[in-house]
Amino acid sequence: MLEPWLAFFHISAFLGWIVFASAQAALCRTEWLNAAVVRRLARLDTILWVATAAVLLTGLARVYWGAKGPAWYWGNPLLHVKLTLFFVAALLQLGPTRQYRRWQAAVQAGGALPPEAQVRGARRLVMIATHLVALIPLAAVFMARGW
């Protein structure tokens, strides 16, 4: 029974990651940005990082406690593709995370909203990261089929 539970938690964490990254991309638009949206972006970002950590931890749980065992996983190049995509996407998300924190501090200090270029830049990074994350299930499907 452990394998299905590990798969369930891993897929659920992954879906959470996608949902919260997509919500950020949807809200991070100059025409919609106000103080409440800045606070919401920071909150979504915190949840996104929790989901990101859950993806990593549940994935490692599957590697070490899953039915195929660590030797099979670590020996499979597709796991390394998935991990590379994961870490690149996470690194790309660091920029928007810093931006949201700065924007939130600025709003709290006096209500200043960020310039349009910053908003576009943060959204671009979120979009690139989210599209990279969307490729991870492709490698997962091939791994599940024994490639």
Q: Model confidence over 4-58: pLDDT tens digits? A: 999 999 999 999 999 999 999 999 999 989 999 999 999 999 999 999 999 999 9
- What is the helix, strand, coil percentage profile of the chain, to 5? 85, 0, 15
Q: Which two tokens stand for residue 50?
A: 């929790």
Decide if 100 contacts 41 (C-beta within 8 A): yes
pLDDT tens profile 54-90: 999 999 999 999 888 899 899 999 999 999 999 999 9
DSSP 3-state assignment of 132? helix
Query: What are the domain boundaries of the chain?
Result: 2-144
